[in-house]
Chain A
Amino acid sequence: MSQIALTIALPFLAAFLLPVIGRVYEALARVLGPLVLLYCLWLVLQLWGTGDGHPVALAMGGFRPPMGITLYVDRLALLFTLLVSLMTLLLWPWQRAADSRECALTLLLAGSASGLALSGDLFNIYVFYELVSVASFGLVAVHRSGAAFVATLRYLVISGFGTVLALTGIALVYSQTGTLNLAQLAQLAPDLLAGPVGLAGFLFMLLGFGVKGELFPVNTWVPEVYATAPARASALLAGLVSKLSLLVVLRLLVLLYQQEQALQLLLLLGVLGVISGELAAWRARDLKRMLAFSSIGQLGAMFIAFSIPGNAGLLAGLALALHHLLVKPALFLLAAGWPGAVERLRGLARGGPLAAGLFVLLALSLIGVPPLPGFWAKMLLVVGLAGQESGYLLALAVVLGAAVLEASYLFRVVAQLYHRDEEAARPRPYLLDLGSAALAGAVLLSAVPFISPLGDWLAGTAAQAGDREGYIITVFPAAGRPLYSAAGGGKPALAAAGPLPEPKP
């Protein structure tokens, strides 16, 4: 299981060496990135096959927690590492492969995203989150137009603001607890983080780590960036990176903040996100902007799901997240070949029947039409919300209203696509994007007959992710207490440690 660290290390190594190799042997540099990602994919699949499904904690550098950094490998983390390799491979910037810097940044994004999924240390999460940000700054600016620069700049400023908030939150948590290890924090949280300082720390970290998750007040970068970035970068950000941000919030909630106030705060921000996102999407006049705003709304729904206490909320949130991860990138890829404004999509179905058909399929699933997987994800959310108290019922009304809005604006697009009595617009040729989108559609359809086993599996994963005690015991096996204090100083964990040298006077 130690090899899982390779999914972080190898992409970094390849990215460092890419400019050097590119100068000597260009053909190798061109395929190096996909090869490394393929290897990571294979590795994760193999670990998946050999593992027994129980979570494992890895001590980076051989230093036992809480001193060193812990990687926590449970089913959810493994799933996300798999998805990271798979998605970056599918969304690899093939068309622009000439620029080694773009390949290097994509590799860095993949490595840091794996790190984010695996990390069990608060500050380490911050570092990988920053790396994801910085790598994505370069990727969204590659079109090098004025608009792209300004959009990236606003994205950077908002991310930087989030950085400051997250760092402040970490400082507050550290000042209360004196540790960064998530398992130890989980032990201490009920005593030390329940007060106002701890909650303020949660607010700051939520706003900071929520920037990529398009959380309500820190999401103004979304429409501009998705409108100016290359479709593949948008797809990566909207599909993958936003889900990693959700994963961080999930870990914080489950391990550190199982308190009502924290959940209420998340619920409030989620509801505001749904309302503002869906309304803006409904008003949007070009397709990319519409998709971007609707993505804000859908991520808001996931935050609402996470704010439901208990595993039902986790399950609903994860189902929504995985569905969105499949559908949204495909929609962005389809939109890449079409002219922007909705009115200009008129009659496009005749020019590209496959793309239009795919769009209809994906849109139906996004709205939540049975028997497509999107329906089941929304169903879980609705059922979870219906079993709760007053505030959640309001959120239920908002979610249902949002579904109606979603249906209205997506059908507006579909109606344009299948408009008859006009000169048919023709899409730009974009086989690769269409192929990836078709793959997503195929996966979506093939999931329909297996909904029940998939749901069971996901429920197991959610239960494991929501198991706070299990997390603590996995990281600190000795009766769930930190080893160093149990053993009173303890022996050094390092095999390489020599005899004890005396400090010089």
Chain B
Amino acid sequence: MMPAGLPFLFYAGAIGLLVIGISGIVLSRNLFRIILALALAEAGANLLLVLAGWHWGGSAPILGQGKALETMVDPVPQALVLTAIVIGVGIQALALALAVRAYRAYGTLDMRRLRNRMNRDIAAAAGIPAESSRDAPAGGRPTPPVPAAHRSGGGRA
């Protein structure tokens, strides 16, 4: 017989990870933390997916160990999660590489500041005076300059 609270605990873990991750993605301003939060939310979704095929008292889906087929848990979600984990780490690596380059270019990891700088560069490339970028902070100081060697040419013409 299954302990009453057990599946609930698993689901609470999955939903909890998802909620923490999603709020981290949406509310955090530090780029590095957003990337970490993305991984957390993904882990929560993976756990939810494995739970979708799990039942109490099941055995691992491996033949030849004396377990009956009927007791095995659903192998499909496990295969899906294998795929999802590997996809997630690939995207994470790409995100970090981009974050490194963005940091080299603008000297900050603050998403809002990065966005302002980017909008300014885009406007400059299009030949619109800088004041038109609505999101620019009123009288906001630009971030401290990065060493010139690390600057890879902000806006492109």
Interface residues of A (CB under 8 A from B): 123, 127, 130, 133-134, 137-138, 141, 143-154, 156-157, 160-161, 163-164, 167-168, 170-172, 174-175, 178, 180, 224, 227-228, 285-289, 339-341, 344, 503-505
Closest 5 CB pairs of A and B: A340-B126, A146-B105, A286-B126, A175-B52, A167-B45
Contact of A171 among B49, B88, B117, B126 (CB under 8 A): B49
Shortest distance between the CB of A161 and any CB in chain B (Å):
5
Nearest-neighbor residue (CB-CB) of B49 within chain A? A171
The answer for the CA separation of A118 and B98 in the assembled complex, in Å, is 32
Chain A CB within 10 Å, residue with most, of B48, B126, B152: B126
Whether the Cβ atoms of B117 and A150 lie closer than 8 Å is yes
Interface residue B153 (Cβ < 8 Å from any Cβ of A) = yes
Whether the Cβ atoms of B156 and A147 lie closer than 8 Å is yes
Contact of A146 among B31, B35, B91, B152 (CB under 8 A): B152
Whether the Cβ atoms of A153 and B152 lie closer than 8 Å is no
Report A-chain residues with C-beta under 8 Å of the C-beta of B12: none
Report B-chain residues with C-beta under 8 Å of the C-beta of A168: 18, 44-45, 48
- Bitwise, B98-132 to A at CB < 8 A (1) or not (0) is 11011001100001001101110111011110001
Whether the Cβ atoms of A164 and B125 lie closer than 8 Å is no
Report B-chain residues with C-beta under 8 Å of the C-beta of A153: 31, 95, 98-99, 102, 114
Whether the Cβ atoms of B94 and A167 lie closer than 8 Å is no
Known: A157-B95, A340-B125. A167 touches B84 (CB 8 A): yes
Shortest distance between the CB of B43 and any CB in chain A (Å):
10
Report A-chain residues with C-beta under 8 Å of the C-beta of B123: 286
- Bitwise, B27-44 to A at CB < 8 A (1) or not (0) is 000010011001001101
The answer for the CA separation of A144 and B38 in the assembled complex, in Å, is 24
Known: A339-B127, A340-B126, A344-B127. A149 touches B102 (CB 8 A): yes
Interface residue B61 (Cβ < 8 Å from any Cβ of A) = no
Q: Interface residues of A: mostly helix, strand, loop or mixed?
A: helix
Report B-chain residues with C-beta under 8 Å of the C-beta of A130: 87, 91
Known: A143-B156, A147-B121. A134 touches B102 (CB 8 A): no
The answer for the CA separation of A157 and B48 in the assembled complex, in Å, is 21
Q: Which B66-81 residues sit within 8 Å CB-CB of chain A?
A: 66, 74, 76-77, 80
Interface residues of B (CB under 8 A from A): 18, 21-22, 25-26, 31, 34-35, 38, 41-42, 44-46, 48-49, 51-53, 63-64, 66, 74, 76-77, 80, 83-84, 87-88, 90-91, 94-95, 98-99, 101-102, 105-106, 111, 114-115, 117-119, 121-123, 125-128, 132, 152-156
Nearest-neighbor residue (CB-CB) of B43 within chain A? A164
Whether the Cβ atoms of A123 and B106 lie closer than 8 Å is no
Chain B CB within 10 Å, residue with most, of A148, A164, A178, A339: A164
Known: A127-B87, A341-B126. A285 touches B121 (CB 8 A): no
Known: A146-B155, A174-B49. A224 touches B95 (CB 8 A): no
Whether the Cβ atoms of A147 and B127 lie closer than 8 Å is no
Whether the Cβ atoms of A134 and B153 lie closer than 8 Å is no
Known: A161-B38, A163-B91, A228-B122. A171 touches B45 (CB 8 A): yes
Shortest distance between the CB of A232 and any CB in chain B (Å):
16
The answer for the CA separation of A80 and B61 in the assembled complex, in Å, is 38
The answer for the CA separation of A153 and B115 in the assembled complex, in Å, is 10
The answer for the CA separation of A123 and B78 in the assembled complex, in Å, is 12
Whether the Cβ atoms of B128 and A174 lie closer than 8 Å is no
The answer for the CA separation of A365 and B77 in the assembled complex, in Å, is 47
The answer for the CA separation of A328 and B155 in the assembled complex, in Å, is 25
Shortest distance between the CB of A91 and any CB in chain B (Å):
20
**Selected A-B contacts with CB under 8 Å, 22 pairs:** A130-B87, A145-B153, A145-B155, A146-B117, A146-B152, A147-B118, A154-B111, A156-B94, A157-B95, A161-B22, A161-B26, A163-B91, A167-B42, A168-B18, A168-B44, A168-B48, A172-B52, A180-B76, A224-B122, A285-B126, A286-B128, A504-B64
The answer for the CA separation of A171 and B155 in the assembled complex, in Å, is 42
The answer for the CA separation of A491 and B154 in the assembled complex, in Å, is 63
Report B-chain residues with C-beta under 8 Å of the C-beta of A503: 63-64
Whether the Cβ atoms of A150 and B152 lie closer than 8 Å is no
Report A-chain residues with C-beta under 8 Å of the C-beta of B95: 153, 156-157, 160
Known: A123-B80, A174-B77. A150 touches B91 (CB 8 A): no
Whether the Cβ atoms of A146 and B90 lie closer than 8 Å is no
The answer for the CA separation of A504 and B63 in the assembled complex, in Å, is 8
Whether the Cβ atoms of B155 and A147 lie closer than 8 Å is yes
Contact of A341 among B52, B83, B98, B127 (CB under 8 A): B127
The answer for the CA separation of A134 and B99 in the assembled complex, in Å, is 15
Report A-chain residues with C-beta under 8 Å of the C-beta of B90: 134
Whether the Cβ atoms of B132 and A164 lie closer than 8 Å is no
Whether the Cβ atoms of A227 and B42 lie closer than 8 Å is no
Whether the Cβ atoms of B153 and A146 lie closer than 8 Å is yes
Whether the Cβ atoms of A146 and B42 lie closer than 8 Å is no
